[in-house]
Structures are given as structure tokens and as C-alpha cells.
């Protein structure tokens, strides 16, 4: 028995504005197939089951450097029956940033969101799980891993029963299953477990970064030890008197430190001081470093700071300068790479009004 998803797609996506799209790895995301799911279970209750999908933003239309927000997780439900006639049961939704781009590994990934949401009793239908706070992703490469974690109703004695929805119509990447109760403590590909025709219905609804990007990027950066290129962007207002600018970098190696640099002039020095990258600002009295605001890239390979437009650092007394309408300033980030070397991001020009 199949169930068409046409009505849900209309209901779920019609309200979306420009830039909101559905990420799906299902070749046919409009059907569910009965009798096609899998779960660790016993005596009418399901145990702890974690169903996973891993999305590469680049293949989903967001190249490195283009940020986005995750709004909803849309799942298929083959069967959901709450114990004791409660009518609803909890599922845990977790979203991770996986900087390596490999298989899901929550122990080595940054958890971006974790919410417990309620799923009503149903069969062969789709459930839209809306996150209470949209997840803003600084897209520096890597993957977005999403887990639907079903609590261990057998151990907890709740009597809940849940089977994830799926079909066998093909997929562009495999789904994963984790269930410690049945001897699978880490996420493994479903085909690896013998389920070659079980294609999980776990989709994401995303939209473009709602923040106002400003400035013009220039001076392409060199790849770092991750194979990615450090990317620079700015958000906020280009009006100097608003004093509302945030600088952000992505695509860096994990857990490395770095800082932002500013200058009134652009320039180009190839691999200064044995760096692996290029310095794209001009030296001189207006060159300044935010070395009092040293940042760490963490597991996401990114960091950001709001800057004070009334106190841009420079090399000469009084050591800062205030931006006014008509000023053009240039910004870049230097960062440490693994193995003792260093690199630079690309640079950005901000022409203040």
C-alpha cells in the first residue's frame, strides 16, 4: 500500500518564501511504502532507535560561503501508536555539523539543535517537525547530519511504538541506523545492515540566510589543510552611523585560532612569512589587527565578531579610527593551520554610506 504525499507537500511548502526549499535524498519523496521499515523492538514496544540522514549543502545548492537556515524536519511515519492511549509520543530531533564530511559521528560533531517534539498516532503519513528556533549554519564545508531519535519505550515502560516511514524507490545517499539495544551503537548505513531497499523519509526545509550580507569579496583564498578555502563575509548595515557590522569566517580547520585584520587599502602579497595563503590588504599606518579579539574556529571551522565602527584598529596613535560616510575599508582574517603553518581567508571591501 502506498500513500501519496502530494497534499502534505502543498501544505508544507506553500507558505515558504523565496529561497526556502526542501532537501531530500529520496528519488521519489512523494510516497511511503508499508511494511518497509525497521526498528529494534520487543513485545509491542520499540526500543531506542536513531534514524539518520547526512546532507552535503554543496550538492543541495549551497556552495561553501553561502549560509542558510534549517527551519523544519519532515519525516515519514509508517506507524506511530502511543502507549496507554496517550495519542502522542516524543521523538528527539538532533541536528549536527560534521566538519569531516564523513559518516555521522555525533562524538566528533557540533550539535546545532536538540529538541523533543510530539508525534501523534498515525500510519503511512508525513509529519512536519518545526524547530522552535531556526538553525543558522555557517557553511564552511562539511555535512549537516540529522537524527530522529526514538526513545526506548520498552525500557521506560511507556508502551510506545514507532516505525519511521520509507520507500524503496531509490535514494541519492544512504540512510543510517543506530540502536544500541540491538547491537548497533554508532550510525551504520542501512545497506551495510542488510536493508538495501529501505530509503528513509527524513527531509529538511531550509531557507537562505535571512541576515543582510554586505560588502564585496575579492582575492581568492588558498586551500588549507582541510582542502577547503577560508571564506569571509560581513553582515549588518553598510551605513556607518548604524554601527552594525559583524565579520564572519568559515571553511577553516577545526580548533585553530585566528583574528581579523583591517586596512584602508587593498593589496596583495603572496604567501608572506611562509604562510600558505595570500595577504590581500596593504601595509601602512592604517593597517590594524583585532589581536585583542583572538578567536578559535572550534569544531565548525568558523568564528565571527561584531566590530565597532567607531574604533577600527590602526597602527598609529590614537590606534583607532571611526568610519564615516564615504570611507572604504578592507577586512581579512589570518588563521593558524595544522602542522604549524598559517593561512588567510579571502578579503572583503566595505564601502560605508
Instruction: Provide the phi-psi class of 65: left if phi over 0, else alpha when psi is between -120 and 50, else beta.
Output: left
Question: What is the radius of gyration, based on Cα positions, of the chain?
Answer: 24
Q: What is the mean pLDDT of the chain?
A: 89
pLDDT, tens only, 125-171:
999 999 999 998 888 778 999 999 999 998 899 999 999 999 999 99
Inter-CA distances, 261 with 203, 220, 244, 257, Å:
40, 16, 18, 14
What's the rounded Cα separation, in Å, for the pair 214 and 234? 6
Q: In sequence order, what DSSP letters do the residues of 51-72 get, joined into one string?
A: EEEEE-TTTTT--TT--EEEEE
pLDDT, tens only, 211-241:
888 999 999 899 888 877 898 999 999 999 9
| Domains of the chain, CATH where assigned | 2-208 (no CATH), 213-351 (2.60.40.10)
* 165 within 8 A of 24, measured Cβ to Cβ: no
Closest C-alpha among 73, 91, 76 to residue 36: 76
Amino acid at each position: 500500500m502506498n500513500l501519496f504525499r502530494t497534499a502534505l507537500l502543498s501544505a508544507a511548502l506553500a507558505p515558504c518564501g523565496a529561497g526556502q526549499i526542501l532537501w531530500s535524498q529520496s528519488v521519489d519523496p512523494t510516497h511511503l511504502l508499508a511494511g518497509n521499515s525497521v526498528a529494534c523492538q520487543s513485545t509491542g514496544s520499540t526500543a531506542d532507535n536513531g534514524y539518520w540522514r547526512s546532507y552535503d549543502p554543496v550538492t543541495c545548492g549551497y556552495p561553501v560561503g553561502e549560509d542558510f537556515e534549517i527551519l523544519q524536519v519532515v519525516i515519514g511515519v509508517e506507524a506511530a501508536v502511543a502507549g496507554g492511549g496517550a495519542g502522542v509520543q516524543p521523538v528527539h530531533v538532533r541536528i549536527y555539523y560534521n566538519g569531516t564530511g564523513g559518516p555521522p559521528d555525533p562524538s566528533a560533531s557540533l550539535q546545532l539543535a536538540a529538541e523533543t517534539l510530539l508525534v501523534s498516532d498515525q500510519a503511512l503519513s508525513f509529519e512536519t517537525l518545526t524547530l522552535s528556533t531556526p538553525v543558522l549554519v555557517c557553511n564552511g564545508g562539511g555535512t549537516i547530519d540529522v537524527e530522529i531519535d526514538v526513545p526506548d519505550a520498552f525500557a521506560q515502560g511507556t508502551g510506545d511504538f514507532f516505525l519511521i516511514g520509507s520507500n524503496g524507490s531509490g535514494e541519492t545517499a544512504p540512510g543510517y541506523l543506530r540502536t544500541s539495544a540491538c547491537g548497533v551503537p554508532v550510525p551504520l548505513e542501512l545497506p551495510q545492515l542488510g536493508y538495501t531497499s529501505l530509503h528513509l523519509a527524513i527531509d529538511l526545509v531550509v531557507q537562505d540566510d535571512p541576515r543582510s550580507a554586505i560588502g564585496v569579496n575579492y582575492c581568492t583564498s588558498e586551500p588549507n589543510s582541510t582542502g577547503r578555502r577560508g571564506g569571509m563575509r560581513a553582515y549588518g548595515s553598510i551605513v556607518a552611523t548604524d554601527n552594525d557590522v559583524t565579520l564572519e569566517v568559515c571553511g577553516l580547520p577545526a580548533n585553530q585560532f585566528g583574528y581579523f585584520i583591517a586596512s584602508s587599502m587593498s593589496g596583495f602579497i603572496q604567501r608572506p612569512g611562509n604562510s600558505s595563503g595570500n595577504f590581500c590588504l596593504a601595509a601602512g599606518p592604517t593597517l590594524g589587527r583585532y589581536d585583542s579579539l583572538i578567536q578559535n574556529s572550534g569544531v565548525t571551522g568558523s568564528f565571527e565578531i561584531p566590530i565597532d565602527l567607531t574604533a577600527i584598529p590602526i597602527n598609529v596613535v590614537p590606534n583607532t579610527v571611526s568610519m564615516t560616510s564615504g570611507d572604504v575599508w578592507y577586512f581579512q582574517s589570518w588563521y593558524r593551520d595544522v602542522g604549524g603553518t598559517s593561512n588567510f581567508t579571502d578579503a572583503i571591501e566595505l564601502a560605508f554610506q
